[in-house]
Amino acid sequence: MKSFIRLSLMRISWPRLLGLLVILPLTAHADLNGVHQVLEPAGPQAARIAELWYLTVLICSVVFIAILAAVIYSLWRAPRVNADSPPDLNAFTHDEPKVRHWVIFSVITSTVLLLVLIVASILTDRDLKNLSVVDALHIEVTGHQWWWEVRYDDAGLTKVFTTANEIHVPVGKPVIVTLKADDVIHSFWVPNLTGKADLIPGRTASLRFRADKAGTYRGQCAEFCGHQHAFMAFQVTAHKQQDFENWRNAQLQPAAEPQNSRALHGKQVFMQSPCAMCHTIQGTDAQAVTGPDLTHVASRKALAAGTIKNTPENLAKWISNPQGIKPGTNMPPTALPKEDLQSLVAYLGGLK
Ligand code: CUA
């Protein structure tokens, strides 16, 4: 056993391990869904949350070091004894004013520090809720097991459309997200932008945020909602105003018509297969709302709520065996002859 421990210790490069422990939480974790990092704020609210975190870490570190120092000091000062030493009953018979002072000082300091943390937490929460929403963009997000329905609302009804799992916003403009749930409780969380908010069936909640830095930020469902909770991701992409307008105008268009005979056949396959019973493709007869809107599915980076990259191969795998990629998903497998599957993928791949 001893030699095993010694061997294990020798194999670890300590500077490297320490470096990893320090650096890992501070480096951005980015995947196909974008950056996911609480300590890299891209908006005013995430910046306030990061400040609260640094304050908490600072206070807790100081207290931790002080306690360790006190423990080491008391061990060092403790009288040296052995099994034959008589019990030390001094404390029962003699007053120890010095010790009493230290206990009172520690209780007061702990109370004050806890109060500082509570007040800082309340102020942060207030700042999150007080973000100005003048001229805000309105988005309605509905949580489903396990994907996100995203509806862009507009008072004039001229700019209303629905998409899934990928949210686009203009940089510097406030966004109001109305949150609903279709089945169980989910939680909307984009750490680079703001804190979490729950989506509760039968209730409507809302959250506001503003992205001040362009980029793609990874969002994640933050409330355990069943088997594929971990694969309920989404993206928020913040663009320059003009790029956002271009994206929105493209999303408002009906689906692109098939450009070749293979894609045309794919469209027929879609309309005659179970696909059309769950999905909408604007401009066609497919108008079901059980699954994600596919009008512009090819413009999305990922499939199955951020689970896999949106490539023709992955799309074919997803259609023929979704349970193999995301066990428990409500999407049933669709058995198609190879030709039909390829045509279907070609059609969906053209829906930019
Ligand atoms: Cu939805 Cu966890």
* C-alpha pair distances (Å), 225 with each of 180, 190, 199, 201, 290: 14, 17, 11, 12, 18
Atom number, ligand 1, closest to the C-alpha of residue 186: 1
Q: Which residues does ligand 1 sit against, CB inside 6 Å?
A: 143, 146, 186, 221, 223-225, 229, 232
In angstroms, what is the span from residue 307 Cα to ligand 1's centroid? 13
pLDDT over 90 (residue 247): yes
Mean pLDDT taken over the chain: 90
Question: Mean of the pLDDT values across residues 179-197?
Answer: 96
- Nearest C-alpha neighbor of 235 from the set 211, 260, 204: 211
CB atoms within 10 A of CB 123: 13
Task: State residue 17's pLDDT score.
Answer: 60
Question: Mean of the pLDDT values across residues 262-284?
Answer: 95
**pLDDT single digits (tens) 211-232:** 999 999 999 999 999 999 999 9
* Residue written as token pair 């027929």: 268
Selected residue with higher pLDDT from 49 and 4 = 49
Cross-strand pairs, 169 = 238
In angstroms, what is the span from residue 83 Cα to ligand 1's centroid? 59
pLDDT over 80 (residue 10): no
Question: Mean of the pLDDT values across residues 107-126?
Answer: 96
pLDDT above 90 coverage of the chain, percent: 81
pLDDT over 80 (residue 9): no
**pLDDT single digits (tens) 279-337:** 999 999 999 999 999 999 999 999 999 999 999 999 999 999 999 999 999 999 999 99
In angstroms, what is the span from residue 96 Cα to ligand 1's centroid? 56
- Nearest C-alpha neighbor of 45 from the set 244, 223, 217, 190: 190
pLDDT over 80 (residue 11): no
pLDDT over 90 (residue 260): yes
Atom number, ligand 1, closest to the C-alpha of residue 226: 2
In angstroms, what is the span from residue 295 Cα to ligand 1's centroid? 24
8-12, 19-23, 38-42, 163-167: the lowest-pLDDT one = 8-12
Selected residue with higher pLDDT from 16 and 168 = 168
In angstroms, what is the span from residue 145 Cα to ligand 1's centroid? 7
Selected residue with higher pLDDT from 32 and 156 = 32
Protein residue whose Cα sits closest to atom 1 of ligand 1: 186
Strand, helix or coil at 223?
A: coil
Separation of alpha carbons 213 and 127, rounded Å: 19
**pLDDT single digits (tens) 139-159:** 999 999 999 999 998 777 788
Task: State residue 29's pLDDT score.
Answer: 59
Task: State residue 16's pLDDT score.
Answer: 61
